[in-house]
C-alpha cells in the first residue's frame, strides 16, 4: 500500500477535530481527511440502528479518497464496536476511539478503580466496562453520563464556575469511589480538561481519548510499515462537513483554531433518509 | 372541509410537545397528530437550505393524514417564514410559532422595550424583530441567543442554581435595557419558566410561544368554522418520531408526562439525504 495515502477520520460532528488535531501534530507528514456529519449531529441521542446506517454512509464517502486507515473519532459509533464496519468493508483498517483509552486506563490504574464520563449513549453502551473487564475482571469501572458537557464545550464555557459546578454534580459519585483514573469518554472533553482537573484534584489520572487514539494510530501505521517517511510536505488537512452554517464555523474555531485548514461542504450521498 | 380532520403539528424534536400539549388542553375535541424529527434534531445549528428541505419532507408525511391545519411548532423552521411551505403546498393552512408571540408581545408592552431569548438560529434570523418593527417601528427589540437552555431543559435542570446562573448570564443585558416584556422564543422554555421568572422578577411579562400559538390556532379554526363541535370523544394524540431510543423517551416524559399518548416511530420518506 502507498504510504502517501491519507488517514481518514470521521465523527458525528466537530468533536473528532480534537483527534484530528492530535494526529496532525503527532504525524505532521501525513495527509488528513476529516468528515463531520454536522447535518445529523448529535448521534448520542439516536438509536444503534440509525447510527450504524450513518457510519456506513460516511465510510463509503471516505473510501473515495483511498485512505490507508480510517479513524472512528466518534464515541457513539465506537460504542457499537467496529465489527459491523469491518464486515462491510473487509479491506479497511479501522481504529476506534474507545479501545485505546480503555487500554491506557488499565495501564494507569494502581487501585483498580476506574471512572468513565461520557455522553449518554456512550455510557449506556457499557463498552468501556466490557473491554476493561474482559482484560482484568478485578477492575471496578464506575460510569457517569454527562449530557450537559458537550453543549458547555461547544459554547466555549471551558473553565467557568457554572462548568465546574456541573462537573462536580456529575463526578462527585465517582470520586467517592476513590477512582485513581478517569477516562474522558468524549472527544469534546479535552476542551474542559482544566475545569475537570480543578474538580477531580491533582491525584486522579485523566485519560484523554484523543491522545490515546492518536498514539494508537501511530503504532498501527508503524506496525504495518505505513508511516509516511518522505520529506516533510505541508499537507493541508481537508475537513468535510455535511452542513456548514456560520454558527457551526464559530464553534469549530474553538476546537481547532487554525486558518491552515481546507473546509468544504459534502454529502455522504446516502440514499436512505429518516 | 371535514371538521373532524386532525390538527397536525411538527417540530425538529420534542420541544413542540409543549405546543401539542397546550392545544390538547385548549381543544380537547380535536385529533392531534405530531411529528418530531428526533433523528435529525437539532435544526438550530443547521443551514436554512437544509432546514427547508427537512420541513418539506415532514409536511409531505403529515399530508397523508389529511390535516385541516399544520402547526409549525419549530422555531428554526418558523424563523424562515412560512411562504416556502405555502408555495409548495398551496391548499394547506400553516400556523407558525413566531408570529403569535410577536403579536402578543406588541399587545403586552407598555414601554416599547421587548426582549427575545431563543436558540442561536432563531435569534440570528431576526424574525421577531422584523415582524414587530413592521407593525410598530417605535418598539425596541433586544435579542439574546441562549444555546445552553435547550440542553438544560432536556436534562430536567428546570429550576437549579446552575440554571438560574446561566439564565442571568443571558438575560442581564436585556434587563439593563428595562424590557417590560420577554418573549420565550423556544418551545423548550416553558419548562424553565419558574427559573426565568426568578431571574427577571415579577414585573416583566413573559410571552410563552406555546400558549400564544395554541390561542392562535383556536382562533383560525374558529374563523374558518373548522372547530370540531361534536361530542367529546377521547382522541388519543398520536406522536410520530423519526428516531426513538430509550434516552429520548425519558426526556420526552419531562415534556408531556402522560401515559395516554400513542407513540410511534416513522420515516418522513425523504429521498435526499445529506
List residues bridging with B144 in a β-sheet: B117
Task: Identify the burial level of A160 via C-beta atoms within 10 angstroms of its C-beta, where 0-12 means exposed, 13-18 middle and 19 or more buried.
Answer: middle
Interface touch B121/A269, C-beta < 8 Å:
no
Task: Give chain B's residues under pLDDT 50.
Answer: 271-274
Radius of gyration of chain B (CA): 18
Residue A272 maps to a domain: no
**Taking 50 as the threshold, does the pLDDT of residue A37 lie above it?**
yes
Residue of A nearest to B160 (CA): A166
pLDDT in tens, A104-148: 999 999 999 999 999 888 898 899 999 999 999 999 999 999 999
Query: What is the mean pLDDT of the segment spanning A222-228?
Result: 95
**Taking 70 as the threshold, does the pLDDT of residue A272 lie above it?**
no
CATH of the domain at B238: 3.40.50.1860
Could you tell me if B220 and B91 lie in one domain?
yes
**Taking 60 as the threshold, does the pLDDT of residue A61 lie above it?**
yes
Q: How far is B113 from chain A (nearest CA, A)?
A: 27
Looking at residue A99, its pLDDT comes to 97
Active site residue A74: yes
CA dihedral B228→B231→B234→B235, nearest 10 degrees, is -20
Residue of B nearest to A121 (CA): B247
Residue B30 maps to a domain: yes
Closest CB to B120: pick one of A244, A247, A267: A247
Query: What is the mean pLDDT of the segment spanning A73-79?
Result: 94
Selected catalytic residue, list A9, A17, A69, A74: A74
Q: What is the pLDDT confidence band of residue A274, given thresholds at 50, 70 and 90?
A: very low
Q: How is residue A1 written as a grid cell?
A: 500500500
Q: What's the number of CA atoms in the CB half-sphere (13 Å) around residue A71?
A: 34
Could you tell me if A196 and A249 lie in one domain?
no
Closest CB to A46: pick one of B44, B245, B273: B245
Interface touch B271/A271, C-beta < 8 Å:
yes
CA angle B221/B226/B230 to nearest 5° reads 120
Looking at residue B265, its pLDDT comes to 87
Residue of A nearest to B148 (CA): A151
Instruction: Round the average pLDDT of chain A to a whole number and report it.
Output: 92
Looking at residue B270, its pLDDT comes to 52
- Domain termination residue (choose one: A188, A209, A230): A209
Could you tell me if A106 and A182 lie in one domain?
yes
Residue A124 maps to a domain: yes
Looking at residue B258, its pLDDT comes to 65
Nearest to B150 by CA among B195, B189, B92: B189
Looking at residue B190, its pLDDT comes to 94
**Taking 70 as the threshold, does the pLDDT of residue A269 lie above it?**
no
Residues of chain A whose C-beta is under 8 A from some C-beta in B? 38-41, 44-48, 50, 57, 120-121, 124, 147-148, 150-152, 154-155, 157, 161-162, 165-166, 169, 242-248, 251, 267-274
pLDDT in tens, B195-247: 999 999 999 999 999 999 999 999 999 999 999 988 777 789 999 999 887 77
Residues in A closer than 8 angstroms to B121, CB to CB, are: 245, 247
Residue of A nearest to B119 (CA): A247
Could you tell me if B68 and B48 lie in one domain?
yes
| B75 close to B187: Cβ distance less than 8 angstroms | yes
Q: At what angle do helices A99-108 and A209-223 cross, to 10 degrees?
A: 100
Looking at residue A270, its pLDDT comes to 52
Could you tell me if A170 and A105 lie in one domain?
yes
Q: How far is A219 from chain B (nearest CA, A)?
A: 34
Could you tell me if A88 and A104 lie in one domain?
no
C-alpha–C-alpha distance, residues A45 and B245, integer Å: 7
Could you tell me if A197 and A103 lie in one domain?
yes
Question: Strand (E) positions, chain A?
Answer: 7-11, 32-36, 69-72, 94-96, 113-118, 140-145, 181-184, 205-208, 238-241, 262-265
Could you tell me if B70 and B128 lie in one domain?
no
Give the range of the structural domain holding residue B28, as residue numbers without chain letter. 7-96+212-265
Total structural domains in chain A?
2
User: Cis peptide before B42, with omega less than 30 degrees from 0?
Assistant: yes
Categorise residue A150: left if φ over 0, alpha if ψ from -120 to 50, beta otherwise: alpha
Selected catalytic residue, list B145, B152, B171, B186: B186
- Domain termination residue (choose one: B181, B209, B237): B209
Could you tell me if A198 and A217 lie in one domain?
no
Looking at residue B268, its pLDDT comes to 79
Looking at residue A45, its pLDDT comes to 74
Could you tell me if B204 and B250 lie in one domain?
no
**Taking 70 as the threshold, does the pLDDT of residue A271 lie above it?**
no
Radius of gyration of chain A (CA): 18
Residue B147 maps to a domain: yes
C-alpha–C-alpha distance, residues A133 and B159, integer Å: 39
Residue A270 maps to a domain: no
pLDDT in tens, A159-187: 999 999 999 999 999 999 999 999 999 99
Residue A271 maps to a domain: no
Could you tell me if B14 and B50 lie in one domain?
yes
The rounded Cα B121 to chain-centroid distance in angstroms is: 14
Q: How far is B218 from chain A (nearest CA, A)?
A: 31
What are the φ and ψ backbone dihedral angles of A208, each rounded to 5 degrees? -90, 115
Amino acid at each position: 500500500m502507498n504510504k502517501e495515502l491519507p488517514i481518514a477520520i470521521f465523527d458525528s460532528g466537530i468533536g473528532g477535530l480534537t483527534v484530528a488535531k492530535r494526529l496532525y501534530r503527532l504525524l505532521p507528514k501525513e495527509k488528513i481527511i476529516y468528515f463531520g456529519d454536522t447535518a445529523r449531529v448529535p448521534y448520542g441521542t439516536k438509536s444503534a440502528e440509525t447510527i450504524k446506517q450513518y457510519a456506513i454512509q460516511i465510510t463509503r464517502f471516505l473510501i473515495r479518497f483511498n485512505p490507508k486507515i480510517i479513524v472512528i473519532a466518534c464515541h457513539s459509533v465506537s460504542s457499537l464496536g467496529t465489527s459491523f464496519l469491518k464486515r462491510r468493508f473487509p479491506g479497511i483498517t479501522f481504529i476506534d476511539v474507545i479501545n485505546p483509552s480503555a487500554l491506557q486506563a488499565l495501564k494507569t490504574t494502581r487501585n483498580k478503580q476506574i471512572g468513565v464520563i461520557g455522553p449518554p449513549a456512550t455510557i449506556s453502551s457499557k463498552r468501556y466496562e466490557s473491554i476493561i473487564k474482559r482484560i482484568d475482571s478485578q477492575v471496578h469501572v464506575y460510569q457517569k453520563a454527562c449530557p450537559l458537557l458537550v453543549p458547555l464545550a461547544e459554547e466555549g464555557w471551558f473553565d467557568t464556575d457554572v462548568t465546574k459546578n456541573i462537573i462536580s454534580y456529575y463526578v462527585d459519585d465517582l470520586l467517592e469511589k476513590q477512582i485513581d483514573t478517569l477516562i474522558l469518554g468524549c472527544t469534546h472533553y479535552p476542551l474542559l480538561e482544566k475545569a475537570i482537573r480543578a474538580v477531580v484534584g491533582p491525584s486522579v489520572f485523566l485519560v484523554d481519548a484523543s491522545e490515546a487514539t492518536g498514539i494508537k494510530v501511530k503504532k498501527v501505521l508503524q506496525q504495518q510499515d505505513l508511516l509516511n517517511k518522505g520529506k516533510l510536505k505541508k499537507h493541508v488537512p481537508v475537513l468535510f462537513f455535511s452542513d456548514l452554517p456560520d454558527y457551526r464555523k464559530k464553534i469549530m474555531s474553538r476546537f481547532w483554531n487554525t486558518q491552515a485548514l481546507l473546509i468544504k461542504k459534502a454529502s455522504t450521498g446516502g440514499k436512505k433518509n429518516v
